């Protein structure tokens, strides 16, 4: 299969620049002094900040384990190192094509099916299940954060209202998503509707019969896989455990960044802030949301702005460059493997042709046939040796042909 290598286009750069400019405008409007932020960042504890950097890799590792446990149940075998690189590849795609992590999931689906064809429905089921688990983890975090804010009597502010709104909205979305996953007839109706729309737009010029059959077959495999997950609570528990550890690692990044700035923050602040930022994926908004909620929950403005910048350096830019390195490595390795396979195939064909010519020469050698007929009644060592030579050549040819073909 030809590798479709993603590219960093000018649109990606513009979106990133717009996000940064939006955050800078926010800092200007709220009278946050840039030199003050730089001065605050200069007093950071580098040892603690380095520890928060390590948690970026730990978070991704636990997320990989959560996904791999689901893949193993459906007999989609993927080594942990390769799965780890695939997750980083998906993270890179999420940054390049911001679409609420959908682009990352699509890239992981592409990578697995490129290596193991016919597993599309199973891989989609693992990605959807992991997404459901992640959404449930965020909802739980929001509920705990709301409970902490209620206990601290901070129920009248914007952070509490935002947390309550996102908890309810995300829960409704989760319920609808679960129903869609287990209602196969709904999925088939959606496929029919999409195919009908595409056929209407193309005015019947596209042959959608095969595409529709493949989509229906993938949907059937997807629903069978979801039912398989329903019969494997132990696997779901394992995947959920790793997902929770990944989420806790993510929370630790934000906490350690504030701690590196010598500011001790309450658990409720971290839970509410990180949970809300997670469900606000639009470029520029996570930074503004994080700085605003930090400030509203009692963090000094200069600490809020500095912590936001330092956190996004890790959770956005570091992930971008590590994901880019993983993407380059995987694509270069794929190209190298393809070239080696092609060269090996050519060498095998040359060897097969040479062996076939040698075998034909032995079998058509007239003097050898005369010799065999002359000694047919006398099993001399010479006759036996020559017969074994011809038989061995034929067997070797058949064996090599079988392995190549």
Q: pLDDT tens across 155-183, in order?
A: 778 888 888 998 999 899 888 878 877 77
Q: Is 211 in the same domain as 263?
A: yes
Own/partner contacts of 353-357, CB < 8 Å, gap of 24 or more, are 355/393, 355/396, 355/397, 355/400, 356/397
The whole-angstrom separation of Cα 114 and Cα 118 is 9
Q: Is 262 in the same domain as 391?
A: no
- Interior angle at CA 23, CA 48 and CA 154, nearest 5: 70
Does residue 1 fall inside a structural domain? no
Q: Is 299 in the same domain as 246?
A: yes
Q: Is 337 in the same domain as 355?
A: no
Percent of the chain with pLDDT over 70: 70
Q: Is 116 in the same domain as 153?
A: yes
Does residue 4 fall inside a structural domain? no
Q: By the 8 A CB rule, do 257 and 314 touch?
A: yes
Does residue 111 fall inside a structural domain? yes
**Which residues, 6+ apart, have CB-to-CB distance to 292 below 8 Å?**
26, 158, 304
Does residue 65 fall inside a structural domain? yes
Q: Is 311 in the same domain as 231?
A: yes
Does residue 5 fall inside a structural domain? no
Q: By the 8 A CB rule, do 301 and 32 touch?
A: yes
Q: Give the global pTM.
A: 0.72
Q: Is 204 left (phi over 0), alpha (psi -120 to 50) or beta?
A: left
Q: Is 260 in the same domain as 393?
A: no
The whole-angstrom separation of Cα 70 and Cα 237 is 10
Q: Is 353 in the same domain as 297?
A: no
Q: Is 379 in the same domain as 310?
A: no
Given the structure tokens 């470029």, which residue do they identify? 283
pLDDT at site 17: 57
Q: Is 315 in the same domain as 361?
A: no
The whole-angstrom separation of Cα 396 and Cα 405 is 14
SS3 of 364, please?
A: helix
pLDDT at site 344: 56
Q: Is 64 in the same domain as 82?
A: yes
Q: Give yes or no for residue 228 having a pLDDT over 90.
A: no
pLDDT in tens, 240-290: 999 999 999 999 999 999 999 999 988 889 999 999 988 876 655 778 888
**What's the domain range around 350?**
346-404
């Amino acid at each position: 299969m030809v590798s479709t290598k993603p590219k960093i286009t000018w649109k990606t750069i513009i979106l990133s620049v717009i996000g940064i400019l939006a955050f800078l405008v926010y800092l200007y409007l709220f009278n946050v002094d840039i030199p003050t932020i730089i001065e605050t960042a200069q007093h950071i504890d580098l040892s603690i900040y380095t520890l928060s950097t390590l948690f970026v890799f730990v978070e991704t590792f636990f997320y990989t384990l959560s996904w791999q446990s689901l893949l193993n149940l459906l007999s989609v075998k993927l080594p942990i190192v390769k799965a780890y690189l695939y997750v980083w590849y998906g993270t890179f795609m999420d940054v390049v094509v911001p679409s609420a992590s959908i682009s990352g999931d699509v890239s992981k689906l592409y990578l697995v099916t490129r290596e193991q064809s016919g597993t599309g429905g199973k891989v989609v089921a693992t990605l959807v299940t992991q997404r459901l688990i992640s959404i449930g983890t965020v909802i739980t975090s929001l509920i705990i954060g709301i409970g902490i804010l209620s206990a601290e009597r901070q129920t009248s502010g914007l952070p509490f209202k935002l947390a309550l709104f996102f908890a309810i909205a995300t829960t409704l979305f989760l319920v609808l998503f679960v129903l869609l996953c287990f209602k196969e007839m709904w999925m088939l109706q959606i496929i029919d509707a999409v195919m009908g729309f595409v056929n209407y737009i193309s005015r019947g010029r596209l042959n959608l019969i095969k595409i529709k059959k493949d989509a229906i077959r993938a949907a059937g495999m997807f629903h069978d896989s979801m039912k398989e997950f329903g019969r494997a609570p132990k696997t779901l528990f394992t995947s959920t455990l790793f997902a929770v550890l990944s989420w806790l690692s993510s929370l630790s990044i934000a906490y350690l960044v504030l701690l590196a700035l010598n500011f001790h923050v309450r658990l409720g602040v971290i839970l509410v802030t990180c949970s809300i930022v997670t469900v606000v994926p639009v470029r520029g908004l996570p930074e503004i949301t994080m700085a605003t909620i930090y400030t509203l929950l009692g963090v000094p403005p200069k600490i809020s702005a500095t912590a936001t910048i330092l956190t996004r350096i890790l959770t956005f830019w570091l992930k971008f460059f590590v994901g880019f390195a993983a993407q380059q490595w995987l694509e270069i390795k794929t190209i190298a493997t393809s070239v080696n396979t092609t060269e090996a195939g050519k060498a095998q064909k040359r060897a097969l042709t040479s062996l076939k010519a040698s075998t034909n020469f032995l079998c058509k050698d007239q003097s050898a046939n005369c010799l065999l007929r002359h000694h047919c009644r006398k099993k001399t060592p010479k006759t036996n040796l020559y017969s074994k030579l011809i038989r061995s050549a034929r067997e070797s040819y058949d064996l090599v042909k079988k392995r190549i073909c």
